[in-house]
Structure 1
Amino acid sequence: MLYNLLYPLSEHFIVFNVFRYITFRTIYAIITAFILSIIFGPKIIKELKNMQISQKAKGYEPERHKEKEGTPTMGGILIILSSVISTLLWADLRNYYIWIVIYVFIFTAAIGLFDDYIKTVKKNPEGLTPRAKFLSQLVVAITATILIIYVDKSGYSTKLAFPFFKRLVIDLSYFYILFAVFIIVGTSNAVNLTDGLDGLAIMPTVISFGTFILFSYLAGHIKFSTYLHIPYVVGSGELAIFCGSMVGAGLGFLWFNAFPASVFMGDVGSLSIGSALGTVAIIVKQEIVLAIVGGVFVLETLSVIMQVGFFKVTKGKRLFRMAPIHHHFELKGWSEPKIIVRFWIVSFLLALLALSTLKLR
């Protein structure tokens, strides 16, 4: 909004010329989202407490999770509010990709909001049925993928680029729709599985979106993308503003979600964050890089799949003490802050590995 209103004035007032730069607007998107989170955070937490929208134990978590009962949940509303306002303020609102990501973000948040509502207000700890949740996510992911393909002007819409290789690009044709839907829905649920300890999911999220600030900017810049041998996607650079907003909102949420948490994000936060991250990766054609930078999310998901598979094959034996894997470490006696910080460290190192793909080709 500020870009659309103020940049045209640069013809008369040179000071407004700074709005042309994505880097400038990304920095202030981060700051704006963080400030909004700090301002709205206490008010939202207070309102959630008044409405008694709080964490309810399902009965199969580690024993010490009972201490978390009563902590307000659905705090993901804070992330959504801060990041969307910041994005609308600093992004070029004529950019189709901005609206596609916001569409995915908000509609998946609505799914999570309804799920949280059933868990907290309706007192059903299981929430939405897996079938209803999955079908709703599919609808959002399919429509988003079709829109991305429709607005693409770069010729890469159905192609898959491989990191570490300069010219290895495979056109998946119609199968790309299935692949992209898998990425969006899979990332959404992966972040949801990771959100089990105070601050565990939000910091890898911040690191992932921080990494995609750079990938979005480079993918939208024809000279940089050509030099680095990555797909050039017209208009994708503007997604750096959305990613920046997510970084700022995520850091602001962490202010209240750090151990011991004053609020949890709930499904309204985790499902929407994951789907938005997956959508950004699809647009900038860095789907495989997403699996690297989001390795913590991948690990958490694989631990659940492996646990279930091993349990069925061995007829009752367990590969881990509990899944997702952060619960395994809890039951091994690791303190919660130790698990959280170590997962953050791993996420940071994976981000560096993802960034190295820009030159290791």
Structure 2
Amino acid sequence: MLYHLFDWLENFDVPGARLAQYVSFRAALSLIFALLISTVFGNKIIRKLQQLQIGETIRELGLEGQFQKRGTPTMGGIIIIISILIPALLFARLDNVYIWLMIGTTLFLGALGFLDDYIKVFKKNKAGLPGKYKVFAQVALGLVMGLVLYLSPAVVIKENIEVRHKGTIENVHFSESETKSTKTTIPFVKNNNFDYAEVIPLKGEAKTIGGWIVFVLMTIFIVTMTSNCVNLTDGLDGLASGSSAIVGVVLGIFAYVSSHIGMASYLNIMFIPGAEELTVFAMAFVGATLGFLWNNAYPAQVFMGDTGSLTLGGIIAVFAIIIRKELLLPILCGVFIAEGLSVIIQVFYFKYTKHRYGTGKRIFKMTPLHHHFQKPGNAGIDAKLQHPLAPIPESKITIRFWLIGLLLAVITIATLKMR
């Protein structure tokens, strides 16, 4: 919004109006504003939640200090959503299709999470919105996002083309025309590109259409998986918000280099016109999650609830798909995926052992994974699977997961040069 205002003011030679042309300047303002909104106005929202008695319902899980959280306001994801949307609307170009995709994702999943929290808090239904409805909504979002990326004429790339001499890359240039493409970035291979159409054993137009079908299906899977994994990670004070901030920084870097023709050439990745505006959104995302930590860090004064966690996961997924870095998410979002996989493995193994031996067994003391380290173990026959026997303090678990997230973030960035 302000970009267009300053663009108009530049016609009258207003001092400083030209600064709005620089993405780096607008991204910095976006981060600062998001940080201020989530900290300053976040306190007012927390007090309002307390007045409405929107407190978290605590189940008996046998975890140390869990009942100290009883009555802590939930639905704090509202703070994150507001802190993302206001800076994005103020500082991003509103004629950019990618910005509207991100705004749509934020609003849709924010509303879905809010409905889930509303049922839990006001309807006193601990289960919240039935899982099948949440999955259906996530699948619908993935379908819409995939189709928009397929159908919109504004969604194009310039493919990176290697110039080789005796097997050595001497230069990387880009095709002159902007094209629709089903290609994405893949780590640890020479060309850094992977075309979804390659998995279709057809030729010509049928192969192209098949590639887009696979692309849309992948979009649905990634949006659903990532959103649910972040949702499962939101179990310790500051864990989901801090981990999301780390991911947001990396995605912002990727958006910037993907839209900078010189950097894209150096890194040998496709050039995505218009993706630079996503840097502004990414910095709003980082500012909002870091600002939320002001009140969410241990001991938390507010929980984000599904209003926040479903939204954060969806934003990460859609953002990565837009900049064609979704196949890097297993590395970048390793903490989130480990949390989700721990639940899947636990349920599968329990059902398998119950069917085969008549008694269900567990691999983890409790899932998601962070609760395994938080819950005391019982020495005995299954002592090996109970490690560590002594519970680890919540704050230490959170910081260790952050450190792992930082390490994975560095590795993810490094993969662009590891071929």
Common topology (TM > 0.5): yes
Instruction: State the 1:61 CA deviation.
Output: 5.9
Q: 2:196 aligns with which of 142, 167, 171?
A: 171
Q: Give distance in 1, aligned partners of 2:9 and 2:265.
A: 32
> In 2, distance between residues paired with 1:195 and 1:296?
11
Matches of 1:23 and 1:74, distance apart in 2: 32
Stretches of structure 1 that go unaligned for 5 or more consecutive residues are none
For 1:2-41, what per-residue CA distance to the aligned partner results, in whole angstroms no more than 9, with x for missing partners?
1111023234235221111111111110001001112211
Where do residues 47-196 of structure 1 align in structure 2 (5 Å cutoff)?
A: 47-60=48-61, 62=63, 64-151=65-152, 152-154=155-157, 155=179, 157-167=181-191, 168-172=193-197, 173=211, 174-196=213-235
Residue type at the aligned position of 2:74: T
- Superposition TM-score, scaled by structure 2 size: 0.84
Which consecutive residues of structure 2, in runs of 5 or more, have no partner in the other structure? 158-178, 198-210, 355-359, 376-389
Letter in structure 2 aligned against 1:23: S
* Residues 55-64 or 119-128, more deviating: 55-64
How far off is 1:222 after superposition? 2.3
Work out which of the two has the higher radius of gyration on C-alpha atoms and give 1 or 2: 2
CA separation in 2, counterparts of 1:195 and 1:357? 28
Provide the residue aligned with 2:402 in structure 1. Answer: 344
Deviation string, structure 1 residues 249-283 (Cα, Å, up to 9, x no partner): 11110000000000000000000111011000000
Is 34-43 or 260-269 further displaced after alignment?
34-43
In structure 2, how many angstroms separate the alpha carbons of the residues matched to 1:210 and 1:20? 21
Match of 1:256 among 286, 295, 309: 295
- Matched position secondary structure for 2:73: coil
* Alignment check: 8 A CA contact 1:220 1:234 kept: yes
- Counterpart of 1:234? 273
Deviations 1:158-178 (A, max 9, x none): 223212324242234111111
In structure 2, the residue corresponding to 1:58 is in which secondary structure? coil
Q: What displacement does 1:157 show? A: 4.3
SS of 1:160's equivalent in the other structure is strand
The reply to whether residue 327 of structure 1 matches residue 371 of structure 2 is: yes
Compare the two structures and name the one with the higher helix fraction: 1
Letter in 2 for 1:119: K
8 A Cα contact 1:156 1:233, kept in partner: no
Q: Provide the residue aligned with 1:285 in structure 2.
A: 324
1:266 to 290, 301, 305: 305
How far did residue 124 of structure 1 move? 0.5
Q: Does 1:313 align with 2:337?
A: no
Secondary structure of 2:239's counterpart equals coil
Query: Whole-Å Cα distance in 2 between the matches of residues 218 and 200 of structure 1?
Result: 28
Tell me the equivalent position of 2:168: none
Three-state SS of the structure 2 residue aligned to 1:236 is coil
Pairwise CA distance, 1:96: 0.6
Aligned residues: 361
- In the TM superposition, structure 1's runs of 4+ consecutive aligned residues that sit over 4 Å from their partners are none
- Post-superposition Cα deviations, 1:200-241, rounded to whole Å, max 9, x if no partner, equal 111110000011111001111222212211121121111011
CA distance in 1, matches of 2:32, 2:143: 33
Secondary structure of 2:403's aligned partner: helix
